Amino acid sequence: MTIELICLDADDTLWHNMRHFEIAEQALLEILKPFADAGVTRERLEAVEIRNLALYGYGAKSFTLSMIEAAIELCGGALSVRQISEILAAGRDLLAHPVELLPGIEETLDALADRGRLVLVTKGDLLHQEAKLAASGLGDRFHGIEIVSDKNADTFQRLFTRYGVPPGCAIMAGDSMRSDVLPALTAGAWAAFVPQALAWSHERAEAPAAHERFRQLKSLGELPDWIDQIR
């Protein structure tokens, strides 16, 4: 079995992402400091995010709306309009942040491109993901760009069909066990988990350590070697 299709997550796999959400969240904690402890605010924000997920989906605009909602729930009428303005501004900064590639990404993509067609598979806000890809300068390296509202086994099955590759000839690499690794394995593909420091708890899940098509890597730079072992 040879890998022909190499699917890669974008946020926190190719470039930093969670650190920008973390900056926005820190701004919220600071704004709400007069009303609530950091822990209380974090907990409320996460509850509001999970509650809104089916309606809002992933991404920076959803996060901004949930920050405003969590702030109102926590502080009620004590919250000022100026403070809501500051939350909106933190959301705008999150959408406009510069794109910083993770270490060695360009060399890794060169090595991967020698081994198969590269496809970017990312979820979140359509416009924001396109803007980040454009800002990254990596757009030309991908055979296909797939921006999806959610990553599940169906998403991956449809994707392998579209690119005309049996699942056993496809591999997915990303930093989310729940969105990148598990659904790709379920769809019959290989999957590499490249964890990063600031994982959103909603994305955490048990590693399928014993699965023959699964491997945990220290960095994406280890992916070309693993693909060579699969060959």
Site residues, its own copies (CB under 8 A)? 55-57, 61-62, 64-65, 68-69, 72, 75-82, 84-85, 88, 91-92, 95-96, 125-128, 130, 147-150
Q: Are 35 and 78 in contact (CB under 8 A)?
A: yes
Q: Which C-beta is closer to its own copies: that of 127 or that of 205?
A: 127
> Shortest distance, CB of residue 79 to its own copies, whole angstroms?
5
Q: Which C-beta is closer to its own copies: that of 72 or that of 207?
A: 72
Three-state secondary-structure class, residue 5: strand
Extract the tokens encoding 32: 């709400």
Cβ partners under 8 Å of residue 8, min gap 6? 14, 112, 118, 119, 120, 121, 172, 173, 174, 220
**If DSSP states are collapsed to H, E and C, what string results for 156-182?**
HHHHHHHCCCCHHHEEEEECCHHHHHH
Q: Which C-beta is closer to its own copies: that of 130 or that of 203?
A: 130
> Shortest distance, CB of residue 52 to its own copies, whole angstroms?
8
Q: Which C-beta is closer to its own copies: that of 55 or that of 209?
A: 55
> Shortest distance, CB of residue 55 to its own copies, whole angstroms?
5
> Shortest distance, CB of residue 81 to its own copies, whole angstroms?
5
CA distance 160 to 143: 13
Phi/psi at 47 (nearest 5 deg)?
-65, -40
CA distance 200 to 7: 21
> Shortest distance, CB of residue 66 to its own copies, whole angstroms?
10
Q: Which C-beta is closer to its own copies: that of 1 or that of 127?
A: 127
